[in-house]
Amino acid sequence: MIIGSISENLKIEKRVAITPDIIKKYTSLGLEVHLSKNYASHLGINDNQYENEGAKILSNDQVLSNSNAILQMNLPNEEALKKLKENQILIGVLNPYSNSEKLSDINSKKINCFSLELLPRITRAQSMDILSSQANLAGYKAVVDSFAYFQKAIPMMMTAAGTISAAKVLIVGAGVAGLQAIATAKRMGAIVFATDVRLASKEQVESLGGKFLTVEGAENLETDGGYAKEASEDFKQKQENLLKETLKKIDIVICTALIPGKKAPTIIKKDMIDVMPSGSVIYDLAASQGGNTELTKVDEVIESNGVKIMGEANILNRLAFSASNLYAKNVFNFISNLFDKEKKAFEINMEDEIINKTLVK
């Protein structure tokens, strides 16, 4: 059985699904690995490194033609999709909410598509959890980048010439990205506040040294799967009032709030940005899904009333090497669950919750 992966569109995605250190794990399962030429050369990984670990380097067409399972980061382009064959398996972050028509066409050709962002939040799936591994890095990078834009020192500094106050940071959304953002900002000496619609996150925020902002009369807006769900209009208004007051003293805001399959909630309005100190910075990790602020524009730095607002379509393109390493391990763990070692074949067992939830139907 053969697994393969072709190059991503480097204009939008620099991460890869297979790294050299994971090849031998695949071969130990009895799988052969085929990759396209210059697969990860943009990350400083040449083809020889893959070949030395046992992979075969071929053309895109050969990889697509030979592979029983194709492992990608994103949904391949139209040209590649046309070359997929019946009974092949496609695995990646396929975004079925926005790619429903394309995936429906692929399914009609009897190609099994697994979208890894649909993994259930169960203990057995933790090692495959691509949302957590990638969000963890995104939270870290958002803090580092926003601090680079901020033109003041972050920690409190006491000098003979006087004292510099510590920067005040607000994290909007205390999921995996938000918690890593809290930890990173604290390590760099900032005073950190955080807010989330899920009351269960209060303890996690406080364990990292952050102060949790509680909305009066808040209800716990958490799904059974552990994700945030949409808030009521009453909650949104109370949250808005609390944030507007808090933002008057905040230097840096990291926005991480997302609702799976929906546009990101607009949490920070223009009038709230207007009360922030001039020179403040907002980094919006939800930019690619509409943004958590009213002014966010993807891949642009917007300035409003002296406040810089930024958000990239894919922040992990600038941490692509580290992100690829984690993603490749997540995908290997998923493949290990999907591949039957005794039968030496991929087994789509619909009674397995992991397989059932990730298969795009």
Q: Give all domains of the chain, ordered by start, each with its CATH number.
A: 2-129+320-358 (3.40.50.720), 150-313 (3.40.50.720)
Cβ–Cβ < 8 Å for 343, 66: no
140 pLDDT above the threshold of 80: yes
Q: What is the pLDDT of residue 218?
A: 58
Given the residues 15, 129, 251, 284, select the one marked as catalytic: 129
- pLDDT tens, residue by residue, 81-126: 999 999 999 999 999 988 999 999 999 999 999 999 999 999 999 9
- In sequence order, the 6+-apart residues with CB closer than 8 A to the CB of 253 are 169, 170, 171, 172, 247, 268, 276, 280, 281, 282, 283
Q: How confident is the model at residue 312 (pLDDT cuts 50, 70, 90)?
A: very high
5 pLDDT above the threshold of 90: yes
- pLDDT tens, residue by residue, 200-236: 899 999 999 999 998 776 555 556 655 555 667 777 7
Question: In the predicted model, what is the mean pLDDT of the chain?
Answer: 93
Q: What is the pLDDT of residue 229?
A: 56
* Residues 281-313 as b or e (16 or more Cβ within 10 Å = b): bbbbbbbbbbbbbebbeeeeebeeeebbbbbbe
For the question of residue 127 being annotated catalytic, the response is no
Given the residues 121, 127, 187, 352, select the one marked as catalytic: 121
- Percentage of the chain lying above the pLDDT 90 cut: 88
Given the residues 49, 62, 65, 132, select the one marked as catalytic: 132
Q: Which two tokens stand for residue 239?
A: 């949250």
Alpha carbon distance 213, 115 (integer Å): 34
Query: How confident is the model over 11-35, as a mean pLDDT?
Result: 97
For the question of residue 121 being annotated catalytic, the response is yes
Cβ–Cβ < 8 Å for 252, 147: yes
Pairing assessment for the beta strands 191-195 and 211-212 based on DSSP bridges: parallel
Least confident piece of the model among 24-28, 105-109, 219-223, 261-265 = 219-223
* Radius of gyration in angstroms for the set of CA atoms belonging to the chain, rounded to a whole number: 22
Q: What is the pLDDT of residue 234?
A: 79
Given the residues 49, 62, 227, 318, select the one marked as catalytic: 227
Q: What is the pLDDT of residue 198?
A: 82
Q: What is the pLDDT of residue 199?
A: 83
* Residues 14-41 as b or e (16 or more Cβ within 10 Å = b): bbbbbbbebbebbeeeebbbbbbeebbe
